[in-house]
Amino acid sequence: MSTTGRSDIAVDRLSLTFGALADPTRRAILARLARGGASVTEIAEPFDMSLPAVSKHLKVLERAGLVTRGREAQWRPAALEAGPLKEVDEWVERYRVIWTSTSRNCKRRRNDMAARDSVTEEPTKEIVIERVFDAPRERVFDVFTQPEHLQKWWGPKMFSVPITEFEARPGGKIFLGQRGPDGAMHYNAGVVREIERPSRLVFAIHFADADRRRVAPPAGTGLSGTWDQEIVSSVTFRAEGRRTRVTIRVMRSGVTPEWIEMARTGWGESLDKLGYAVVDDMTVAAPGERDIVITRTFNAPRTLVYEALTKAEHINNWWGPRQYGAVSAVADFRAGGRYRYAQSGPGGEVAFSGEIRESSPERIVYTEEYEAMPGHGGLVTVTLEERGGKTLMTMREVYQSKKDRDAVIASGMEWGARLSYLQLDDVIDALGRAS
């Protein structure tokens, strides 16, 4: 007998199984049935849907062989069938060598970065997201809750957070203002319900306007204009040696699948940025009369850091705080080449330009001048030292006078550099994944 027919049947069964598992509600139903059989009424209890809607989901699972229905008196309990899941496991096992090889190639980068999210939809009205960070619990908790750190990580990628008010006490007020890639502002207001450093945080937020008044959900959020509830997040911080496991539970009563997907993506991207922020080791010193020295470690080989620092298409994505808008970069990093970086700021365009004196993966030397103040430029020397797969950057800028140096420090340079380098972390990580 030909084996082709048997293969087609197996593939068809796999298609049914994968199709059934593609829906998050059906996966949540299976999670409930893994604890034991249940009636339609019992299965429907945690969900915001009718009994007929749950029955339709059960029929899909039944056709895929993942659920069987019995009959006891007047009700038909559903039970989980593991057979199709075993077939999925066997099918996936054939491809394990592929991701094992890929994982081995990327392992060095992942060892020092936060683990990717473990995201589940429990058979309750909440989303559960877990992430492990390579930092002590106290550090992670403080970066999560202190306003000066919230600017570094809150919100999806390409969003900045120029307004971060977070009173880390029971009853403390929350007000967050995010600027999207299109320049539009989005506001949330709320309150801290519970907080216990460094182990637990519960907070609730809602949509607001610039004056902190509650408003209907904006278009594009996946919520109806009449939705008027709080988004409640419960966060726990658990020490695992020198690492910290963060578990976020987001209540999702009355929301849509579209909002759930957006929330999952938004938290995932925020936690990516939080992973960079908790290991941020940037230091700023003024050791001499005219010097500023910045040191910063990047979790990547020197070649990737150099590429991100010197190519205009990458500089556009990391230079300058995102809340000030898009960056226009021109960069010719060779001896005698020139560069110019410009960004729209609160008072108009902010632009720096200069000449490249040296450029190599080990050392970059260039002049730098703030175009609004000609004649007050400095000489910048950047060294990149590779240490065990990471890169230590040391940047020394020497100004023409102590007055010029002190004016740069007073301008908030450290804050801008810190946010820029956190964005650079993201760019370097993307380059590493693509290489």
Specify the 3-state DSSP secondary structure of 216.
coil
What DSSP character marks residue 322?
Answer: G
pTM (predicted TM-score): 0.60
Task: Record the tokens describing residue 100, joined without a space.
Answer: 């094992």
Specify the 3-state DSSP secondary structure of 35.
coil
What DSSP character marks residue 427?
Answer: H
Mean pLDDT of all residues in the chain?
Answer: 84
Q: Where are the alpha helices (DSSP H) in 112-190?
A: 137-145, 147-153
pLDDT in tens, 329-383: 999 999 999 999 999 866 778 999 999 999 999 999 999 999 988 989 999 999 9
Rounded to whole angstroms, how far apart are CA atoms 8 and 18?
Answer: 15
pLDDT in tens, 111-143: 444 445 555 544 446 789 999 998 999 999 999
Query: Which secondary structure element, helix H or strand E, spans residue 176, and what is its range?
Result: strand 173-179
pLDDT in tens, 377-424: 999 999 999 999 999 999 999 999 999 999 898 887 888 898 899 999
Query: Under 8 Å CB-to-CB from 342, ≥6 apart: which residues?
Result: 327, 328, 329, 349, 350, 351, 352
Listing DSSP states for 291-327 in one string gives EEEEEEEESS-HHHHHHHHH-HHHHTTTSS-GGG--E
Rounded to whole angstroms, how far apart are CA atoms 380 and 161?
Answer: 29
220: left (phi over 0), alpha (psi -120 to 50) or beta: left
pLDDT in tens, 1-45: 334 444 444 446 778 888 888 877 888 888 778 777 788 887 877
Rounded to whole angstroms, how far apart are CA atoms 22 and 24?
Answer: 7
For the chain, which domains are there?
A: 4-93 (1.10.10.10), 116-278 (3.30.530.20), 283-434 (3.30.530.20)
Specify the 3-state DSSP secondary structure of 24.
helix
Best CA proximity match to 380, nearest among 402, 356, 348? 356
Omega before 198 cis (within 30°)?
A: yes
